[in-house]
A and B are shown apart, each in its own frame.
Chain A
Amino acid sequence: MTGLYQSQRAMRQMRQAAIQRGVVAILDIGSSKVTCLILRFDGEESGPSEGIGAMAGQSRFRIIGAATTRARGVSFGELDVIREGERAIRTVVQAAQKMAETRVDHVIVSMAGARPRSYGLVGAVDLGGAPVTDHDIARVLASCDIPDIGEGRAVLHAQPVNFALDHRSGLSDPRGQVGNQLTTDMHLLSVEDRCIRDLLHCVNRCDLELAGIASAPYVAGISSLVEDEQKIGAVCIDMGGGTTSLSIFLRNHMIYADTVRIGGLHVTQDISRGLGIPMAMAERIKTVHGGLTATGRDDREMIKLRSETGDWEHDSREISRSELIGIMRPRVEEILEEVRMRLDAAGFEHLPSQKIVLTGGASQVPGLAQMASRILGQQVRLGRPLRVLGLPQAATGPGFASAVGLCLLAAHPQDEWWDFADPSMVRGPQSLRRMVRWFKENW
């Protein structure tokens, strides 16, 4: 765990350097598109705020460059072909730099795939009636039992979500309070190590420095859930191209995240296969005519299918919109059923609030809210990301939820385990004493 600790700390320092320089790039690598936003940090902090404040830290930064390109070499939210992914990053970073008229060297990346797995950890430490200090918090975080996260997996987030001091639970910051026993609940998110290494390699090949990695469901939740939903408890379902990821928030912290490896691209694939048309055409038909609930009128609405085979019969087919809905509906149902299963496994029904927020590019299908409320629960709404300063109109849709959330996270980072000094590395007095003893013995 020490290696991870140090690499994460190094990334934190890189982030600090980037913010001091004032310009940092946000890179959201998705299965269907890659988005780059360039942030310029200026102005002063608008007062202390816990989590996402009323202003969401928006006065601190401004988006000065934005670019989106179609994804290359990415499948299921993971880099699949390194060279292609690198080309996509180059394209999007260059376009954003051109718009911003500045050069960025630091980049914060979010990714949806890599099979995230959530763990809840508990740690306890004895205080002996002394006030809680930074060092005690580091100790209690270090006292958490690290579960066996498996071979080839790495920790992406390790966030303390709750502190308790002698049966007083729900403390967000126990420092300065007096008690006997300090316990903490920590949420740990592990992903596949391979994906992080590929990402790092890719970013380095683009002459950029990685200043942080975040999980896409987490940042999508930050931008799509309003403040009350984050506090009372809600689940954010980010329906992307290759994956559908969900994150559960409670008391301003993410407590669970998971990914279903089915997304909008699979719907497109179904249409393409079912109708025998190219993927680009299928994508277009899906976005223009797609739907989930068929009505009688849809039987009469005919959609022309054009293709290039040369067979006149084949090239001049027409289908009704009901047929299209008939293809799309089972796949979307499958996605939502899968999400339902993951939520059940996470114990979502025990949460005080059953709010469900759908976001992501695939959530724009008409009729999704009704279908989701039937499968997932009653309190469903469609979420769009928060408005942030300087965001182009084209990037305000639900498809950009994770990019916007990453901006907010960059401006207001969540405390992570590695933000506190590792007690195993703090041995100042002891080593000093050892040095003094060595001098006494030898001189």
Chain B
Amino acid sequence: MRTIRRDPPVRSDPAPSRAAYRVTRLWLSPFFRFCVKVVLPVLVLLGVAGTWALNSVHRDGVLHWAQDLRGSIAERPEFVMRQMIISGAVPELSREIREKMPVKFPVSWFDLDTDELRAVVLSFDAVEDASVTLDLNGAVRVRVEQRVPVVLWRNHGGLELLDITGHRVALIDRRDGRADLPLITGDGADHAVAEALAILVAAEPVAHRLRGLTRQGARRWDVVLDQDQRIQLPEEKPVAALERMLALQDARDILGRDVALIDLRRPGRETVRLREDALAYLNTMRAFEQGLSTQ
């Protein structure tokens, strides 16, 4: 006897159903695939994160955690700033900068804003330019470029030191404090410091008699000499006018005479004002000459 061996039943037709076929084709289309594989997960993640963050307790927890993390990094010894190095400033200025800097050492590298510190340094009159850098060895390095005072300016408030651009460098209480610098006065004198310096260079021959320069009406200069003598310079080309006058001085010693004022304001029409004694003497002389001529 042998058992009748039957073949396995005929396999069902493997044709896909219409729906399965369509789903397969849909899945194979690139746009749909991108949507499902990229867009959908991103949306779901965003949705879950958003729902979670709607609860303020969760949000605060995350914020605290982030702050703690930042603090723990900021407090590491590698990032602690312990000193300030100021270069290029005189001791008084650096002392003042130190006092005014809104930094309390030790401080973390992360809590310092170099732009803000630089603005503080630049707010000093005596500072022309500055740079603030944070060195990772624990020092705030401030490089200062100081303004150079070139003149003293006496104005209504007192006595100021000015640099070549007319910017205030410092206040000074005594003229003797910087006797080496020339003196200028008058309103608006700080706007024409460069011109004043040029005039002072030109006035070198009479330097021993020079008291200072005065700005008149914020537009032109007067040269003030001792013995109450005064030279009025024009608005235009004051240096050239002064040089012509000094040539006259060389030839005729005009300043050595009894003259109160030399007016150079109008080129080609220079005028001299005599003092009273000289004027009386001149009148007497003229009357005498007139008397002689009438007799």
Contact = CB atoms under 8 A, between A and B. Distances in A.
A72 interface: yes
B37 interface: no
Contact of B13 (A72, A97, A103, A206): A72
Given A207-B22, A308-B7, A310-B4, A90 B16 contact: yes
Nearest to B25: A103
A94 B24 contact: yes
Contacts of A102: 28
A166 interface: no
Contacts of A90: 15-16, 18, 21
A148 interface: no
B50 interface: no
- Among A72, A94, A207, max chain B CB count under 10 A is at A94
A206 B28 contact: no
Interface in A69-96: 69, 72, 87-88, 90-91, 93-94
Nearest to A90: B21
A97 B4 contact: no
A98 B6 contact: no
Contacts of B24: 94, 97-98
Interface in A87-121: 87-88, 90-91, 93-94, 97-98, 101-103
B15 A88 contact: yes
Given A206-B21, A308-B7, A310-B4, A103 B28 contact: yes
Contact of B25 (A69, A88, A97, A310): A97
A310 B28 CA distance: 49
A112 to B, nearest CB: 22
Interface residues of A, number: 17
Contacts of A101: 28
B294 interface: no
Nearest to A315: B4
Nearest to B26: A103
Contacts of A69: 14
B250 to A, nearest CB: 95
B295 interface: no
Interface string A48-88: 00000000000000000000010010000000000000011
- 4 nearest A-B pairs in the assembled complex, by CB-CB distance: A103-B28, A87-B15, A91-B15, A90-B21
Interface of A: 69, 72, 87-88, 90-91, 93-94, 97-98, 101-103, 206-207, 308, 310
28 contacts: A69-B14, A72-B13, A72-B15, A87-B13, A87-B15, A90-B15, A90-B16, A90-B18, A90-B21, A91-B14, A91-B15, A91-B16, A94-B16, A94-B21, A94-B25, A97-B24, A97-B25, A97-B28, A101-B28, A103-B25, A103-B28, A103-B30, A206-B21, A207-B21, A207-B22, A207-B25, A308-B6, A308-B7
Given A98-B24, A207-B21, A308-B6, 14 more contacts: A87-B15, A88-B15, A90-B16, A91-B16, A93-B21, A94-B16, A94-B21, A97-B24, A97-B25, A97-B28, A102-B28, A103-B30, A207-B25, A310-B4
